[in-house]
Structures are given as C-alpha cells and as structure tokens.
Structure 1
C-alpha cells in the first residue's frame, strides 16, 4: 500500500479522553467491592484512538475536538503520532475521561464522563469543517456534542461522511443518517439502528434503509463484513490470545479507512484492518496498543 501518493485528507471530529484502566478478576457486581491487580492511566477516547490509528496507517489526518487544561498531554500524543491538531480546542471544562474495567479474560467494561467532549460549539464546528474541501473525508463517532450538526455541515461542504455510531444512544435516530456514506458499526449498534436482532435481517435492513451507503460490520472474534448493495466481502479475524480488547474496534476503523481512502480495494482494506486489530488486543491500553503499518503488514503476512 503506497500512501505517499494519496492526497485526500480526513477530519476526525472526535473525543479525547483520559483512560483510567483497572485490571480485575471479574467485572464488579452490584453491591460488590473488589481490589484491582493493577492500575494505569492511558490516553483514550474513540476519537483519539481512531486518529492515531489513521496516522499510523499512513493517512493525512486532522483531529477536531476539545480538551481541558488537564488534557494537553493528549494533544501532544496526537502530534507525536503525526496527527494535525490545529482544530483541537481548549476550554474551561475538564477533559473527558473513562473508567475501564479489564477482566482476566481481556474483556472490558467502560464508564465515560464526557467533560469537554460535550462542550463543542457550533462556531467551532463551522470553523473546523469549512477548512476542508469536496472529496475529503469526515469521520465522527458519538462521544461528542453536535454530531448531527457536524454531519450536516460536512455534507454541505462535500465531504464523504463516515459514521461510527458508538456508543449508541437514542439521539442517533434523529441524526441525518441519510447523509452518511460509510457506516462502521458492531452488531449491537447495528441492532439498535435497525431495531432487529437476527444478523441477516439486520444486514438486509441496512441495505434497504441506506441503499447508497457502504456498511462495515465489525464482529469481534468472527471478523468483519463489508456490504454495499449486492456486494459483500468478509474477512475472518486473526486468531490471537487477547489481553485487552480496549481500542480494537478503533484500530480496525483507522486502518480500514486509511487503506480504503487511498486504494479503494475493499478486501485489502479489510485484511490490513483485521490484522491491526488483532495485534492491538495482544497489548495493553487503547492508543498505546495500536501497531504501525509495517507491524500490521508483517503480522498479516505471517498469520
């Protein structure tokens, strides 16, 4: 994959969080108090994770978002990873944060406090989006305020809209989803959007509801599925021993989009994205677990 010849930009308007990660024997039950075996503070937020994944996969990525004074290290980490941070604003509200439980099986349970992520203004959105041009990409998740406005404004500017509806909230039903060009979502989010539970029914409903959109279903240990009209591509997951699944979906999204934007080769994009996601779950942390493009390529070739 030769990213040097790709001149498309991607604006990732997303969350910036401080992750407080606790490794525990099992998830805390109601009324229970347990001790953790270890505690770490990491950079996080779906937005930050996906921007770093995009950058490590070779994309020309700009991050839009908001932090408090306590989150300046997040901006610095983005910059060290090659992300343009000119659209990261600083406000008076503390930076968003997450409390993450990681079980001995490597599964996670997450509580998010929005903080500055929920204080993004319409002026900040307009000033950011208007810098980009037709054919550039917008990526947005659902951890910040103003998502509906970001999608609408970006569509007016001719950007290709990529939406990762995570975490799912009822408000998503009122977003202008008809403007979305690419959905990347897991089984839970797809079920919530369609109101259905059976996988094949969900796929057919997404086809019917969004006939012009590309839909990528991330299915964890079962891999990933691409659907557009009658076209389908599936990529099986790489078999690894997981130690921490935090950020695996974000890694997949960044690597898939970086490849998709520049080559348009869907099977190739799925393959490199599943390899990168598999590598990420063998490491602790979210942003800190994201591999480089060379690492993901080497892993893909040997697994």
Structure 2
C-alpha cells in the first residue's frame, strides 16, 4: 500500500499582531517570519514525521526551492514535484496574542495543475493505495474522479471551503478530515452532532473526523462514534494543528491502531504543534509524541 499526497506547497509569510485586522484597519506588526507551509506540504511532513513513507505530488514556482528542500529534509519523497515558471503559492498569515490566526492564500503554482500531470502521477498508483487531498490545488474534481476509477482510498480535508468543492463528487470520498467550520459549511448546520448526522445521511459509508479545537474531536463511521478531548497547552501558533492531526491520523490507520488510540495520539501531536511557531517546523516527530504519552 502506497501513500500519495497531491497537494499544495506554499511559502508562509507570518505576521505577529496584537489582534486580527478588521476591514479598513491599518496595524503595525510586531514581527514578520517566513516559513515553508501549505496544507499539502504540512500534511506530507506530518505523515513523514509520524513514520509514513509518503510521496508528494505538487508544483513549485521559480522561488520554490526551499519548499523542495524542506520536504527532502523531512523524508518526503519529492520525485513527483515539478518546478514551473511563475510564482509559488504563498500565504499571508496574521497570528494574534491569543495564537489565533487568519490566512490569506495566493494559489500561484498550486493552481497550475494539468490533467496530463495528474494522469502521469496516478499511473504509478492503484487499488488500495491512499490518496490525501486538500482544496488548495485546481482540478480537484478531476483528481478525485481518476483516483476513484483506480479504486484508491481517497482522504479529503475540504479546506479551504469554496465553490471548487461543489464540483467534487463527495460520494467518492472514503474519509473526511475537517474542522468545525468546514463541517458546518458542508452539512449546513453548526452543531457538531447535527453535522455528523447529516454526514452519515449523505455519505453513509464514509468515515468522518470532526476536529473542534479546544473541544477535541469526534470520530464517526457506519458503526462507531467516539470522542477525544484536547490536551491543554500554552498555544503559540495554531497554523498547522489540523495538518498535524491529519498526518498522525493516517499514520495510526496504517499501523492498524484502534481508533481511540489514534485519536489520542493525534491530540497529543497537535498539542505539541500549537506550542511552537510556524507550520511545517512545528510538527513533532513520532518519538516526541510517544514521550508525551508516557508522562
């Protein structure tokens, strides 16, 4: 069984601010830092740090060499990553004194996928292989359709939520990994229990993980529902918390762990990530998570 992540690679420009800006407001930032990120890159690095051999497929622009380098440094297979003309994807991230963030995303090279490139990558994967997707690349519906035709296990983090997801046949998704905002937008209701009820009605065969920030997370499949509390830490930057959760969840699945143990591991890994600055750089190694569980 192989694991392919077809997703974004971004340069993150992170600004430390007193509070998140409102419309028309001007505010001086206290600090500006540059990190490698993108939901695709973060999730690939999280999987690699959790011990998962992962192939990443994606596109970088003219200034994207640091993105390629950080993947390689963290053990991600970069053989499918291609460099193209133009700018890489990037984000402008505000992080306030409560460690909450808001993110402005520019797609850049992440929005330059072609059907030919997608087909070429998927030629090397087949039935039972895992495909991890987010919504920071173009042609997401085409990727899902082709992967489904190949009987791959499709895992979707539907973020960011926009009209592109309307073209995706969600009935082809095996596992949904989403936060409370994404869940509410897909289900049309904010109450977590109602979100899960709608997801079960619409996609009865899919497994769903709904993360709830400080309130932990809920897992649901056709037979089981279980909850996991969040571990309390002093949060510094929540940027990669969800991506860390995703990487460790997939690692747990591949290890054949019980779902309750997987969720506990994910909660511990995410707690470590939010206690550090940055995206990819904040994601812990499996050894750190194991040590945390032994305290």
2:70 is the counterpart of 1:77? yes
**In 2, Cα distance between the equivalents of 1:291 and 1:201?**
33
Counterpart of 1:253 in structure 2 is 246
**In 2, Cα distance between the equivalents of 1:184 and 1:27?**
26
Secondary structure of the corresponding residue to residue 59 of structure 1? coil
Counterpart of 2:291 in structure 1 is 298
Secondary structure of the corresponding residue to residue 58 of structure 2? strand
**In 2, Cα distance between the equivalents of 1:85 and 1:230?**
37
Displacement after TM superposition at 1:230 (Å)? 3.5
In structure 2, which of residues 212, 224, 231 is the aligned counterpart of residue 238 of structure 1?
231
Given that 1:173 and 1:193 are in contact with CA atoms closer than 8 Å, whether structure 2 keeps it comes out as no
Secondary structure of the corresponding residue to residue 244 of structure 2? helix
CA deviation map 1:119-152 (0-9, x unaligned) = 0110110011111121110000000011111111
**In 1, Cα distance between the equivalents of 2:132 and 2:121?**
13
Displacement after TM superposition at 1:194 (Å)? 1.4
CA deviation map 1:149-205 (0-9, x unaligned) = 111111111210000000011231220111110000011111111112222221111
Please, which runs of 5 or more residues in structure 2 have no aligned partner? none
**In 1, Cα distance between the equivalents of 2:173 and 2:23?**
39
**In 1, Cα distance between the equivalents of 2:163 and 2:58?**
22
**In 2, Cα distance between the equivalents of 1:295 and 1:212?**
34
Q: Which moved more, 1:273-282 or 1:198-207?
A: 198-207
In structure 1, which of residues 279, 288, 291 is the aligned counterpart of residue 281 of structure 2?
288
TM-score by length of 1: 0.95
Q: Which moved more, 1:202-211 or 1:29-38?
A: 29-38
2:247 is the counterpart of 1:267? no
**In 2, Cα distance between the equivalents of 1:300 and 1:241?**
17
**In 1, Cα distance between the equivalents of 2:78 and 2:87?**
18
Given that 1:130 and 1:157 are in contact with CA atoms closer than 8 Å, whether structure 2 keeps it comes out as no
**In 2, Cα distance between the equivalents of 1:72 and 1:174?**
32
Displacement after TM superposition at 1:106 (Å)? 0.5
Pairwise mapping of residues 212-227 of structure 1 onto structure 2 (< 5 A)? 212-227=205-220
**In 2, Cα distance between the equivalents of 1:242 and 1:300?**
19
**In 2, Cα distance between the equivalents of 1:233 and 1:58?**
25
Counterpart of 1:4 in structure 2 is none
TM-score by length of 2: 0.98
Counterpart of 1:193 in structure 2 is 186
Displacement after TM superposition at 1:264 (Å)? 4.4
Pairwise mapping of residues 161-180 of structure 1 onto structure 2 (< 5 A)? 161-180=154-173
CA deviation map 1:60-81 (0-9, x unaligned) = 1000110112011101110110
Pairwise mapping of residues 62-211 of structure 1 onto structure 2 (< 5 A)? 62-211=55-204
Please, which runs of 5 or more residues in structure 1 have no aligned partner? 1-7
**In 2, Cα distance between the equivalents of 1:130 and 1:269?**
31
Alpha-carbon RMSD: 1.0
Given that 1:98 and 1:112 are in contact with CA atoms closer than 8 Å, whether structure 2 keeps it comes out as yes
**In 1, Cα distance between the equivalents of 2:257 and 2:114?**
34
